[in-house]
Chains A and B, each alone.
Chain A
Amino acid sequence: MLRFTLRRLVLAAVVGIAVSVIAFMLLRVSGDLAIALAGEDASPADVERIRQEYGLNRPIIAQYGEWLWRALRGDLGRSLFYPESVANLILTRLPVTLSLAGMGLVIAILIALPLGIIAALRRNTWVDRTALGIAVIGQAMPNFWFGLLMIFLFGLALGWLPISGSDSFAHFIMPAITLGWFSAPVLMRLTRGGMVEVMNSDYIRTAHAKGLPARVVVLKHALRNAIVPVVALCSVQFGNMLSGSVVIETVFALQGIGYLAWEAISRRDFPVVQGILLLVALFYVVLTLLADIANAWLDPRIRRG
């Protein structure tokens, strides 16, 4: 197990470097950071002076080298716009995105698992098709469009839920539903497929032969086996939700990593963008590692293998 994890960490490091190079080049090739810093209505003379003072006219390789050298020593540098270090900036914004992604995942599971199980038990009936329909609609809707409609309906027309901001739990309900419903179909299909396969297996027939109530047969015996791949997928979905929250956070005015990334990209705050991309890459590697570990732990054949 150790060798396996070690290899993954090396891979992660190399991936992190690759990601940072791509991001760095992308942003520098893009618009002009000096102009972005000077802002609208600033004169060319001002822009040139800022370019000088921020050392933006040095060759890209030198600037990347400097960033990388400091990053390796754990210093992700400072935001060019915010009066804070990148690390601090990300840490203050992370809880919002984590809770959004977390609640999104919970909602995805709450939609996907029951629907998946019911669809599997009532295979190829109208129940199966409607369940699949409900889930697939989630994936077909543009999430910002769905978010705006929800604001319109629940926020404005009915006034049940707060519309923007991230102060209380209620603020996360609509964004989480928008985010969660999008990942529900993938989870649902996997659950359904898994359950269909497991329900036909011999040990389920044995469970019935033991006179166990249907609830126990389905939830204890069947689901316990069908859930293994779903757990692995959940961690990958959690990763997607982290990076996919850009649009949701813009619509619901949540001050999370997603919105920070969008803001940093649009004004070329490259240290922040670098920091976030590294964070997402790190999350991805950690989450896939978690998925493997979960797989091993959940499936005794691998755990004791």
Chain B
Amino acid sequence: MLGSIPGSGGADMSDITLPQPAPPAIRRKRGRILGNPGLVVAALVLGLITLMAVFAPLVAPHDPYVQILDDRLIPPAFVDAEMSDPRYLLGTDNLGRDYLSRLIYGARISLLIGLLTVLVSGVIGTTLGVAAGYFGGRVDTVVSFLITTRLSLPVVMVALAVVAVAGGSLQVVVLVLGLLLWDRFAVVMRSATMQLRNLEYVAAARSVGCSTPRILLGEILPNLIPALVVVASYEMAQAILLEAALSFLGLGVQPPLPSWGLMVAEAKEVMLFDPWVILLPGLAICVLVLAINMLGDGIRDATAPEGRT
């Protein structure tokens, strides 16, 4: 905005100066974050789920593993008041385990899978992407070949093959998903790095004699964080959905570990006549994935509106 007008010669200026409000840039950015309701709601929901997951032992009314076969498939109050049991707020699953506790502990697994997968795929994807973007040339062709090969391997089919091989366990699922969901990281990081590399201040840093690692870590990486976070949120959502699909096909995390995906798969058996059993974990996944996606959208809009991925 315009600065105030300097006093010019001639008549006295005391009563003629014009109002000059100029808000600092920071306040404007926070406005954009708070102004975006989606982001706020998403952050709240995600925070709530994370808290629930972390403090599961305190929050959960029962031990999620204890099964009382005679208390099978007791409906929650809001479905069928008569048959419901006050001890089980959200009823019990087909092995008589408290459904609310399993949902709470399930949050842990789903979040864990989401985060760990994103960690693995993030590291792989970013290193490849930045390397390709920064060095270009042969490195770039090799990485592009890797990306194309990865993209031509259908995610679900490969996940099925590997998990069918190694048997479903948390580590295997995370490793498989991690190795399958790095492509978007690589693509986004590569193009972002390329843009940054041509900017003057990177060239300046190189001319001053900074070592390549210092440039990568000091100059390039910090500027990639916004795009990285946005991609991370999408891939986390993707990982959670994929784990659910693997569990549905019987290859996800192993029982009795309560993961939401597994709970949907287990609820499939009784779906026709006790639909609430399949609704609850499905909705939980929906809410979590929605929150993560909206968080990603919000961060992208707040930090780099033009950097749409």
Contact = CB atoms under 8 A, between A and B. Distances in A.
Contact present between A and B (CB < 8 A)? yes
B176 to A, nearest CB: 11
A131 to B, nearest CB: 12
Contact of B286 (A141, A247, A277): A141
B162 to A, nearest CB: 6
A89 to B, nearest CB: 16
Given A140-B293, A152-B275, A243 B157 contact: yes
Contacts of A193: 308
Contacts of B224: none
A23 to B, nearest CB: 7
Interface in B217-256: 237, 241, 244-245, 248-249
Contacts of B34: none
B282 A15 contact: no
A30 B289 CA distance: 32
A281 B148 CA distance: 9
A268 to B, nearest CB: 9
Interface in A247-303: 247, 250, 261-262, 265-266, 273, 276-277, 280-281, 284-285
B290 interface: yes
B289 A15 contact: no
A142 B264 CA distance: 9
B290 A136 contact: yes
A145 interface: yes
Contact of A11 (B145, B154, B155, B287): B145
Given A15-B148, A18-B149, A140-B237, A23 B161 contact: yes
Given A142-B248, A247-B248, A262-B160, A15 B152 contact: yes
Given A136-B290, A140-B290, A152 B271 contact: yes
- Interface of chain B: mostly helix, strand, loop or mixed: helix
B41 to A, nearest CB: 11
> Which of the four size classes fits the interface of chain A?
35 or more
A29 interface: yes
A175 B139 CA distance: 42
Q: Residue among A23, A142, A146 with the most chain B CB within 10 A?
A: A142
A280 B148 CA distance: 12
Interface string B149-178: 101111111101110110000000000000
A136 B293 CA distance: 8
> Which of the four size classes fits the interface of chain B?
35 or more
B83 to A, nearest CB: 20
A38 B32 CA distance: 64
A265 to B, nearest CB: 5
B285 A140 contact: yes
B272 interface: yes
Interface in B251-296: 261, 264, 268, 271-272, 275, 278-279, 282, 285-287, 289-290, 293-294
Interface string A22-38: 11001101110000000
A21 to B, nearest CB: 10
Contacts of A18: 149
A142 B153 contact: no
24 contacts: A15-B148, A22-B158, A29-B165, A129-B38, A136-B290, A136-B293, A136-B294, A140-B289, A141-B285, A142-B261, A142-B285, A144-B248, A148-B268, A149-B282, A152-B271, A193-B308, A247-B249, A262-B249, A265-B157, A277-B157, A280-B154, A281-B153, A284-B152, A285-B148
